[in-house]
Structure 1
């Protein structure tokens, strides 16, 4: 089939003339006609006109709550009930007009129109149905594409209109979507799609089905060039559009109560043999299961999209001053057990306390895209000073008992008692590692610096975690963190426990708050293993060398961030200011380095960690001194303390006789 058979290119005046002739030659009816027995007999069917279906009909009262809608500006503008918030169907053009900056939308590919590739007419001509919806909606097809500005940021827009053959994707919709993706890739414009589709364009057969692959190919072009794709899923979002380009998006936004599922609501009810399936396939359910990043009402979408477009803007003026190495803070040696206690304080600032103080316009993202969302890991986008960054933060989940305690001496945490993370209380599970990996890949794709806040007793343990591949997820997270070609800065803000802390702290710069700890095992578990007595945990803590001072001395940490007197819990705002200043300085330095050089040096750093550094030389020196002392002691026992031996000892063992 030639390209000419798939689409027609006519200038606007020509199209108007063609449509004018078509309207005179074909009887256009508002809906699909009914037929009499003449159809089965092979005669010409008698067309019976039905009442038109107006998806944007004027409503006097809300069909859900009964509220008067006549004087509501919110309903007239974006068709949302001001009382119950129910989102009624809105046309593609009305949606675009409500979201973009006034007068900025320039429509593209408008005059591509459908033909009838299969001559599909078991009851009524497909061409008649297309012309019918063209007359009713004023659209040439179900997709409206173009370029506009939202909050001043230029972007590409693709809006699907459910009123045109149920928003189904045929040859023309697939072609328009693919061409818009390619146009956006050439001009490096972020893309926003608005999807509302009820299924397949069966009148075009398997040709309609192949449009899924066509649009995915085009969407891959955006991903390969680091151009963001944002999808807004309205009611309903199902079938081929949801399972193709809409699910290829980097950020997915759902409208409240929208049906978002591959199968239609009717099909799910039939399969499940229950009418009560709507709450299991709506936007809120998909958010809980990690398939959406957020659910936002229609009246707030413009502001949220404007913020997201700004965060993906790469044109950042780098005006931060680089601090001299000599001005960095270096504390004295701390008591290890006191550091353990301070890092675990119930009132110590967590990631949730730091994020709003560190990152402006923070937009939290949700889900691992595999069916879950771990609340122990927060990911999102925000501004660190002038720099847009990707944030990954481990969030300690405290029990009500811990949160109500002000005196940390009366708290015996699960980690203190058992030495590992209790399920649901601060540990990082399989979903958390997947979620963090998703954020790291996004940071790499869009060349955003990655800032990681570490605060966890360790990975979650349990049979369920093991069957879901806990060990594999930890290994893969380390692998991804080593490979991403973007600046990575990691900060231990509290307790950096075992493998969960390590996987999140594989970075170009690893920093620690002054009273934080970094340890392969909790002191309690170490005492139980080595000394058979958990009460001797303070002794093991000192032997583990887990303080920030020790990590800096061993070359594991690059920088210690000072805390206010009494610890970060005494003045969280001041602690955040100190942390933010160092983060901006480090990100500013790393952004000046080439992406590939960063990744190569990061891998080299961890390949040779512990080798030939100050710690290695100190260990060799200590070993040599121990060996020399042992040799001297043995010589005294064998030869006695004669003058010859004394002379050799005074010469440091360098005489000819030794």
Structure 2
């Protein structure tokens, strides 16, 4: 795509921004409904009927997003050496001057200190109205300076991005801004600085590939065009492009964006995410002598437990996430291919302390496409992403286990499901922050174990461990362990009782008790160093199974019984054989 084509496209859209000003618009450009007297439109520039998000000027956006009078801009003017590019190319300087007069901005990037919901942060805004919001020498330098300041001040980074393509007037200098921003973001990640990006329409080009995709959390406004190449470039190279496939809504389903957030909820949502990632509070125990009580368990036979564990009405993991924890924010996707509903991940709080939740959602409807198969390579990558994020910010992780196993299809095998599963196993084993796992339904498979290498292993009373359905009939016989057997083998640390008759009859009773147990255990784990936790976890798993005296007695009796039965069987056979040989 040539330079003139790029400039024409940008100028065309900028003219639309000017022509359809807030004052002149009476009807929505998308649904044609009247919006002139709409409070939602006058305040947030959103159509109340179709939810179309109109362009909003950068300082208006700052006023909506930040606490009143908290924004303090910095680096509005850079040293003169950064302006040499305008002296070198007079036509470029004229175009920049034209955009300055039209927008009141001297570049596509605004940076400053801000407070969002009481949380101090560094704010970076790229605005499309100034030369398409793309990266040049000045804008790249302003972004890098802002990121470096966030590192030195230990403040989270919030970037609002509306950008397109490459600033071709600056040639290779424009391209090199990607390397500059990449190194600054790498330094921020190394320093564990939280970063959040909000994508607006359009969000393409260099800014998307660097500042947006490197962020820990990626949010977007509805209907934003998002991707590396501008739509016009894609149409030029591919002939036709479906606009819907490039919208932010589509990218959520493909696992590339975490959340779609309307403009009128963005301040609240960003503030909540900063609170969660800052991880300021830890649970402590005032009465350190108090421990989780040993609960008396029912004597339900194992076949009944197996039935209850797989009961159609038994609550799935997502209900636990919303009932046991507060302020849950879901993280969607593996940032590569898709967002699967079989795995639910997200940040939440437990008693005020931030935790990362990773849950296996057992889809009981096997007629559905996602319920028919086990966990896929995408599912394990999604788990690994959440675990890695928790480890970087020293956020405790709590996993919920309930799965029939992994996907056995040939397609998944060639996608490298073994590598993905192994990556999840290793990330759980290497985790520096406290970890707890809760078996809420069915476990016992390789897929279940991937989230079960934790400091504390909890199990609901009627949950079970059983060999996966894909194993042979010989192996499936008698290969079901209930909570009592798992406790005797030291496979689990704590058993959480269920209501009489099973979890499905009164789930709130179990949710309340589980919450209390998790808080007690997390407070205890918070007192331990990461080295002590790892050593304890290492010794625990190296010691499985832990045979109790009762179990050894039972096993000895079983062996003697089998030996006696085998002796009787051989004597009978031998007697028949001798009788057949007599003349």
Q: Which position in structure 1 is the counterpart of 2:48? A: 82
SS in 2 for 1:346: coil
Residues 1:239 and 2:205 are matched in the alignment: yes
Q: Which position in structure 2 is the counterpart of 1:587? A: 522
Residues 1:500 and 2:447 are matched in the alignment: yes
Counterparts of 1:164-203 in structure 2, within 5 Å, are 164-203=130-169
Q: Which position in structure 2 is the counterpart of 1:461? A: 408
Structure 2: distance between partners of 1:324 and 1:56: 66
Structure 2: distance between partners of 1:326 and 1:135: 68
Structure 2: distance between partners of 1:560 and 1:378: 23
SS in 1 for 2:541: helix
Question: Quick one: which of 3, 13, 21 aligns to 1:57?
Answer: 21
Matched-pair contact (CA < 8 Å) for 2:109–2:126: yes
Question: Quick one: which of 250, 255, 261 aligns to 2:227?
Answer: 261
Q: How many Å apart are 1:326 and its aligned residue?
A: 6.7
Q: Which position in structure 2 is the counterpart of 1:214? A: 180
Structure 2: distance between partners of 1:102 and 1:583: 39
Q: Which position in structure 2 is the counterpart of 1:101? A: 67
CA RMSD of aligned residues (A): 2.9
Q: TM-score, normalised by structure 1?
A: 0.78
Q: For 1:82-104, what per-residue CA distance to the aligned partner results, in whole angstroms no more than 9, with x for missing partners? A: 22211122222111111111111
Residues 1:69 and 2:35 are matched in the alignment: yes
Q: Which position in structure 2 is the counterpart of 1:517? A: 464
Residues 1:135 and 2:70 are matched in the alignment: no
Structure 2: distance between partners of 1:63 and 1:252: 27
Matched-pair contact (CA < 8 Å) for 2:71–2:112: yes
Structure 2: distance between partners of 1:623 and 1:349: 39
SS in 2 for 1:253: strand
Q: 1:155 to 1:426 in 2, by over 3 A?
A: farther
Structure 1: distance between partners of 2:254 and 2:453: 28
Q: 1:76 to 1:478 in 2, by over 3 A?
A: same
Residues 1:299 and 2:264 are matched in the alignment: yes
Matched-pair contact (CA < 8 Å) for 1:118–1:203: no
Structure 1: distance between partners of 2:553 and 2:65: 67
Q: For 1:502-534, what per-residue CA distance to the aligned partner results, in whole angstroms no more than 9, with x for missing partners? A: 111110000100000123335x955x235xxxx
Unaligned residue ranges in structure 2 (runs of 5+) = 1-6, 9-13, 568-583
SS in 2 for 1:221: helix
Q: Which position in structure 1 is the counterpart of 2:356? A: 390
Q: How many Å apart are 1:192 and its aligned residue?
A: 0.8
State which drifts further: 262-271 or 487-496: 262-271
Residues 1:115 and 2:56 are matched in the alignment: no
Q: Which position in structure 2 is the counterpart of 1:649? A: none
SS in 2 for 1:391: strand
Residues 1:546 and 2:481 are matched in the alignment: yes
Q: How many Å apart are 1:60 and its aligned residue?
A: 2.6
Q: For 1:418-477, what per-residue CA distance to the aligned partner results, in whole angstroms no more than 9, with x for missing partners? A: xxxx96347211111110111100110111110101111111221111111112211121
Matched-pair contact (CA < 8 Å) for 1:323–1:585: no
Q: 1:119 to 1:277 in 2, by over 3 A?
A: farther
Structure 1: distance between partners of 2:166 and 2:548: 65
Q: How many Å apart are 1:234 and its aligned residue?
A: 0.6
Structure 2: distance between partners of 1:140 and 1:269: 31
Q: Which position in structure 1 is the counterpart of 2:365? A: 399
Structure 2: distance between partners of 1:463 and 1:55: 56
Matched-pair contact (CA < 8 Å) for 1:396–1:426: no
SS in 1 for 2:165: coil
Q: How many Å apart are 1:68 and its aligned residue?
A: 2.6
Matched-pair contact (CA < 8 Å) for 2:292–2:520: no
Question: Quick one: which of 392, 404, 407 aligns to 1:445?
Answer: 392
Structure 2: distance between partners of 1:317 and 1:423: 37
Q: Which position in structure 2 is the counterpart of 1:281? A: 246
Would you identify which runs of 4 or more consecutive aligned residues in structure 1 move more than 6 Å?
50-53, 623-627
Question: Quick one: which of 479, 487, 492 aligns to 1:557?
Answer: 492
Q: How many Å apart are 1:62 and its aligned residue?
A: 1.7
Q: Which position in structure 2 is the counterpart of 1:597? A: 532
Structure 2: distance between partners of 1:52 and 1:259: 17
SS in 2 for 1:576: helix
SS in 2 for 1:609: coil
SS in 2 for 1:614: coil
Q: TM-score, normalised by structure 2?
A: 0.88
Q: How many Å apart are 1:379 and its aligned residue?
A: 0.3
Q: How many Å apart are 1:317 and its aligned residue?
A: 5.0
Q: How many Å apart are 1:227 and its aligned residue?
A: 1.8
Matched-pair contact (CA < 8 Å) for 1:145–1:156: yes
Q: How many Å apart are 1:567 and its aligned residue?
A: 0.9
Residues 1:614 and 2:553 are matched in the alignment: no
Structure 1: distance between partners of 2:164 and 2:514: 49
SS in 2 for 1:177: helix
Q: How many Å apart are 1:51 and its aligned residue?
A: 8.1
Matched-pair contact (CA < 8 Å) for 1:486–1:599: no
Structure 1: distance between partners of 2:198 and 2:71: 18
Structure 2: distance between partners of 1:225 and 1:622: 54
Q: Which position in structure 2 is the counterpart of 1:331? A: 297
Rg: which structure is higher?
1
Q: For 1:143-166, what per-residue CA distance to the aligned partner results, in whole angstroms no more than 9, with x for missing partners? A: 111111111111111011111111
Question: Quick one: which of 504, 507, 510 aligns to 1:575?
Answer: 510
Q: How many Å apart are 1:134 and its aligned residue?
A: 2.0
Question: Quick one: which of 238, 242, 255 aligns to 1:272?
Answer: 238
Counterparts of 1:334-413 in structure 2, within 5 Å, are 334-399=300-365
Q: Which position in structure 1 is the counterpart of 2:383? A: 436
SS in 1 for 2:278: coil
Q: 1:490 to 1:426 in 2, by over 3 A?
A: farther
Matched-pair contact (CA < 8 Å) for 1:167–1:198: yes
Matched-pair contact (CA < 8 Å) for 1:55–1:163: no
Structure 1: distance between partners of 2:412 and 2:275: 38
Structure 2: distance between partners of 1:450 and 1:371: 24
Q: 1:357 to 1:232 in 2, by over 3 A?
A: same
Q: For 1:324-344, what per-residue CA distance to the aligned partner results, in whole angstroms no more than 9, with x for missing partners? A: 347222426542211111100
Q: Which position in structure 2 is the counterpart of 1:529? A: 474
Q: How many Å apart are 1:182 and its aligned residue?
A: 1.2
Structure 1: distance between partners of 2:355 and 2:132: 39
Q: How many Å apart are 1:495 and its aligned residue?
A: 0.9
